[in-house]
A = this chain, B = another copy of it.
Amino acid sequence: MSSPLFGTICLVGIGLINSSIARAARLHGLAARIVTLDASEQACETALRLGIVDAAGSDPAALLAEADLIMVGTPVGAMAAVGQAIGPHLKAGAIVSDVGSVKMAVVRDLLPHLPDTVHFVPGHPIAGTEHSGPEAGFAELFQGRWCILTPLPGTDPGAIDKVTQLWTAMGSMIEIMEPLHHDKVLAITSHLPHLIAYTIVGTASDLEGDMQQEVIKFSASGFRDFTRIAASDPIMWRDIFLNNKEAVLEIIQRFTEDLTALQRAIRWGEAETLETHFRETRAIRRAIIDAKQA
């Protein structure tokens, strides 16, 4: 039998994403040993009970000593603190990666705390659900989904290759991108949709009592699709918006202009403007179906 891709993987934070990595890495035999570093005793106990890690605890020295790959799976606002906590305990030659939803801020906050002896390969799997915590993960989460890696120039190609092999083995396709470009693309594909969903669900929850009950009752007509993504973790999303401010503000601006144009067309009864706009958007749906991401 060939030896696994990594000796020890240490998952920093054992939430939805990292617990899915634990399950997938185990399923595909990608590590000899999987451990997790998490401040929450309860999360550690859950992970051990689920049998998805071999060891769990809050002591960085003990858990990082043998780690060949460190995967950081905390909210992006915690990256600086995580860097401080893990930096001094990393083994020379180890690879540090992460799954954070923004990449400029992770490079800014995590990298300064890492010793020169380790390799840094930031990443972001384009997969997830609205649920959180170690119980919510599952091994198939990354199957058929993209994972974006944003290594800095000069990163050891061997380290990038090993992280690529990990994601590929878990079923993902890899795309390499610059961190800034990543943040711009995700501002439109992910951050704006979530902000819009949070907004519209908020608008509904501000309605008077009776109306609100009816909105819930008749939500199958479109609204409920937004509530699912607006049920995502508040801390995670707070951190994303605070850490991708520029790109998000820029795309909100464009969106608002476009909404104003449609609003105007409705007000003035411009049937053709509406119909033409609604026809064009169908092409994008078709392209997504063709790209097998529907």
Contacts and interface: CB of A to CB of B under 8 A. Distances in A.
Chain A binding surface, main DSSP class? helix
A156 interface: no
B266 A146 contact: no
A237 to B, nearest CB: 5
A186 interface: yes
A281 B175 contact: no
Nearest to A190: B221
A200 B196 contact: yes
Interface residues of A, number: 90
B284 A218 contact: no
A195 interface: yes
A228 B227 contact: no
A234 B278 CA distance: 5
A127 B215 CA distance: 14
Contact of A262 (B195, B216, B283, B285): B195
Interface in A178-235: 184-186, 188-207, 211, 214-232, 234-235
Interface string A116-138: 00000000001110100000000
Contacts of A193: 200, 221-223, 225-226
Interface string A128-157: 101000000000000001101000000000
Given A231-B286, A234-B279, 17 more contacts: A126-B220, A146-B218, A146-B220, A190-B223, A194-B222, A198-B277, A198-B278, A199-B259, A225-B228, A228-B294, A230-B281, A231-B281, A231-B282, A238-B271, A242-B269, A249-B263, A256-B259
8 contacts: A146-B217, A186-B221, A188-B215, A192-B203, A205-B284, A224-B294, A225-B226, A238-B274
